Amino acid sequence: MRIANGVVLAACCLGAQTPPSLQQPWEGVPDEYRNLRIGRLEAPSSLAAWNRRRDQVRATVLGALGELPARPRPVPVRTVSVQNKDGYRVEKFVFHNGVDSEVPGYLAIPDNRRGPLPAVLAMHGHGSSKENIFEFQPSQQTVAELLVRRGYVVMAIDSYFNGERRGKGPAGELEVMAKGSDQEMSLFKLNLWLGRTLWGMMLRDEQMALDYLESRPEVDPRRIGAQGMSMGSTRSWWLAAIDDRIRALVGVACFTRYEDLIAIRALRAHGIYYFVPGILKQFDSEGVMALIAPRPFLALTGDRDAGSPPEGMKKLEAALDRFYALYAKPDHFRSIVYAETGHVYTEEMKQRMVAWFDRFLAPDAAANQGPPELGVLRFGF
């Protein structure tokens, strides 16, 4: 469903940008790359028909991620420190992912709880960290305090090659992502040799974060959402596609259709971390996102985000509208595009993000935390 400025479109990319000019699709693309054999996923005529096909689509998505080693149960986690703040506390924790690394993270828990609370797994972008989600290194991605004061438990971890995990890849301190994507490239190559993908391993870590989050007594496991910007946005909708524990999500930027990325000559706009083998032989990214329906999905993007071609966003919106219609839940999908806007996470986007979670995860925020400081409830969606 489309809204602009509310105008609907969406995106994904690396780093903040000056809004670029828009290239016409296929202009300058060599003839050999104009007619690639890319699979198509059409929405079936009925929900029953989709239910018969959905497991096959999910198996294709999971297969593209390569081998995913079994996750340790329970999560081998230890608490490193606890910091008490005004109205909530922040726990720093570390767990070993059972394969190749320790994963550090933060967990924010409101004080004065009445029973288990809804939770949000917040995911950082490329080149940032959990510190940016929390207030330890404030940035446009900082959302933890906003959410915890609305009555949510909030968790964020460092993804591979980011934050405290820099310099902890196969080359150790020789590769710290200081002058390029050295650690990212080494991890990508090594995982291919081992029959895995870097993207699959990144999503597996987020699943372990979910395992830990839902084990906490402060959390209602039936009300867990996910949100992120850029690489974090892409992780959020891929994670929701493969893991039904995500009950609602908000993706800021990174609403990308891959064929249309080729059409504007912008494969370079995305890091190598999320490329997986064989996916386009079966379908484009609408095949991944279709698995989210009918769970609530809000996409927020600038129309000049270089990594999300507008034509591709239109196709994604049309496709997802059809899948959500199968469930008679058209209002559970929204794609909002902001005119003349690049790769950003604005205060208005944050207000819409919180309002979306308030609507679908329903915390008792007003009773526990007082009135919303940012007026998030003015958006009726």
Tell me how far the alpha carbon of residue 268 is from its chain's centroid.
20
Question: Each residue of 258-308: pLDDT tens digit?
Answer: 999 999 999 999 999 999 999 999 999 999 999 999 999 999 989 999 888
CA dihedral for 248, 253, 258, 263, sign (positive or negative): positive
Question: Each residue of 304-336: pLDDT tens digit?
Answer: 998 889 999 999 999 999 999 999 999 999 999
Average of per-residue pLDDT across 127-139:
97
Question: Each residue of 235-246: pLDDT tens digit?
Answer: 999 999 999 999
- What is the percent of the chain where pLDDT is above 70? 90
Length of the chain: 381
Q: What is the dihedral of CA 228, 231, 235, 273, to 10 degrees?
A: -170
Instruction: Tell me if the pTM is above 0.85.
Output: yes
What mean pLDDT, rounded, does the chain reach? 90
Query: Hey, how many other C-beta atoms are within 10 angstroms of the C-beta on 340?
Result: 9
Q: What is the dihedral of CA 85, 88, 94, 97, to 10 degrees?
A: -150
In this predicted structure, the answer to whether residue 135 has a pLDDT above a threshold of 70 is yes
CA distances from 351 to 6, 73, 325, 372 (A): 13, 36, 26, 10
Per-residue confidence at 377, pLDDT binned at 50, 70, 90?
very low
Q: What tokens does 289 get?
A: 């996102």
Assign domain 2-378 one CATH number from 3.40.50.1010, 3.40.50.970, 3.40.50.1820, 3.60.20.10: 3.40.50.1820
Cα–Cα distance between 32 and 226 in angstroms, integer? 39
Question: Each residue of 346-357: pLDDT tens digit?
Answer: 999 999 999 999
CB 186 within 8 A of CB 201: no
Q: What is the identity of the amino acid at 170? A: P
Closest by alpha carbon to 185, among 277, 273, 68, 307?
A: 273
Question: Each residue of 203-250: pLDDT tens digit?
Answer: 999 999 999 999 999 999 999 999 999 999 999 999 999 999 999 999
Q: What pLDDT sits at residue 5?
A: 36
